[in-house]
Amino acid sequence: MSKFKKVLKKEAVENAFHNHPVKNLESEVQEDYVKGLLFIAVEDETFDDEEKKYITSLMNNLGVDESKLSEFEAFAKDPDEDELIAFMDRLRAFEEDTRINFLIEAVVLAFKDGEFDESEQEMFDDYLEMLELTDKKELILHMAKALVDKNIDLALALYTADKEFFEKFDYLFDIADIDIEKELKDLYSWDWVKFKLTDGEVEDNNLVAAKPVTTRQFCVFLNFALLSGNLKQFADTKQYDYGDNVVIKNIDNINLDFDKLFNYREDESNSDIVGIESVDSFIDFVNNKTDNDTQLLKIIASSYVITLDEVTKELLTDNLEKFIAFINYDNQGNKMRYIDINGSYYQDNWHELENNVNYTFRLMKIELQQ
């Protein structure tokens, strides 16, 4: 990192601290806030340089006298019981958003020495109970994890799940140098690959643009749906529904790992998502959260055969073999055609196609021919 970038980053962090939720509160509240963080910092019997640097920077930006740090540290390590009871009462009197922010920042601070050890976790749980925020535990830990790991995908899922809530604490993401709006735009921007369909009638002679839905793109959507409470496991099955749509029919057959949240293997972040039953909700999500105008490919076909010309095949990535499109034919309403680019064609309806859990779902967009 150049000297210029180091200075610019330092300035960005300091500017972010200016938006701290206790910045404009009374000095006594600010001091209690810092003391509370120190309880977490010293709980593992260490107060290392990174933790001290963070606390010092916070104190300086809040206007808390840095010379009081030793006094605060001594109190956190060995508090007088009566003083501790009074201190706890003052913490409980914080506004809820301040209490939540305090706990997010406490976990971030705990990780400054490289780990969130058992004693710190116990202290965190005590704080949750004392501050009456046990119902926010998972959300607080997710926010802290996104910050500590600079986990952009988790930050995006949190942001899109509850933008109003997220923005209350977005100064923390400024400190972590995460630009959420830019990251969201970059994630769901497609460089459309145009190709033609032959031996079939494409509505209005449109050119068709396509790009696969990646595991990373769909992973962020699924975690958004989980965190917002809209993705639900169906009864005691392996099926997950989003609203009225079955999104995952069998969680064992998708190419994502699942442990509380969905995860992809880093080397497969740009692989096609497979085992997904419907992408209607995903497309609505992308269009609502970005400036995209994305839709499933719709074709009016008079023939049971639609083929791709050789030029088209060359435009597609080497290992992309399939795409899916809705078609109308014979006035029988919406049907599904499953097209294998390598030359085999299958006629199926939607329900029967869902049984094939290994297909690749492709996102399509129609563009008028110029």
8 A C-beta contact, residue 159 and residue 180: yes
Cα–Cα distance, 127 to 116 (Å, whole number): 15
Q: What is the pTM of this model?
A: 0.76
Confidence grade of residue 191 (pLDDT, cut at 50, 70, 90) = low
Residues in CB range of 325: below 8 A, 6 or more apart: 296, 297, 298, 299, 336, 337, 339, 364
Average pLDDT, the chain: 76
pLDDT at 304 over 50: no
pLDDT tens digits along 148-179: 899 999 999 999 999 988 888 888 888 788 89
Q: Domain spans of the chain?
A: 3-183, 193-367
Cα–Cα distance, 59 to 350 (Å, whole number): 60
pLDDT tens digits along 208-233: 445 567 899 999 999 999 999 999 99
Q: Which of 132, 44, 58 is nearest to 88 (CA)?
A: 132
Mean pLDDT, rounded, for 46-70: 87
Please state which architecture CATH assigns to domain 3-183: Orthogonal Bundle (1.10)
